[in-house]
Amino acid sequence: MILEVADLRIAPGQQAEFEAAMRRGLETVIARARGMKGWKVNRGVESAERYLLMVFWDTLDDHTVHFRGSPLFAEWRAIVGPFFAEPPRVEHFELVAKSS
């Protein structure tokens, strides 16, 4: 399992519209992606325009090769891209340990 973390900054005052767009994009586009196991959207407390989108994938390739190389990527970016105040910073992570 791979965790994608997308660190997003949006324009001020657009939280409600962005959150609705994110939910729509996740439920109608990301939900159809191969190997997509689940997602969470987190809004910043200190930085009200900052969001962390976390998406769980079976493998790294499911995101970086299959999703980004599919028509779904353009569909997704058409929905959420207009809100981005700067290019998303995206990296992937592997779970090392968690509390029981």
Q: Which among 13, 8, 11, 12 has a CA at the least distance from the CA of 25?
A: 8
The stretch among 37-45, 70-78, 79-87 that binds its own copies (CB under 8 A) is 37-45
> According to the binding rule CB under 8 A, does residue 19 interact with its own copies?
yes
Return the residue of 2, 10, 29, 33 that touches its own copies, per CB under 8 A.
Answer: 2
DSSP letter at 66 equals: I
Shortest distance, position 6 Cβ to its own copies, whole Å: 12
> According to the binding rule CB under 8 A, does residue 49 interact with its own copies?
no
Q: Using CB atoms within 10 A of its CB, is residue 26 exposed (0-12), middle (13-18) or buried (19+)?
A: buried
> According to the binding rule CB under 8 A, does residue 40 interact with its own copies?
yes
C-alpha pair distances (Å), 52 with each of 36, 39, 69 = 17, 10, 23
Three-class secondary structure of residue 19 per DSSP: helix
Shortest distance, position 74 Cβ to its own copies, whole Å: 22
Closer CB to its own copies, residue 39 or residue 84? Answer: 39
Token code pair at residue 54? 């976390």
Residues that bind its own copies (CB under 8 A): 2-3, 5, 19, 22-23, 26, 31, 38-47, 50-52, 60, 91-99
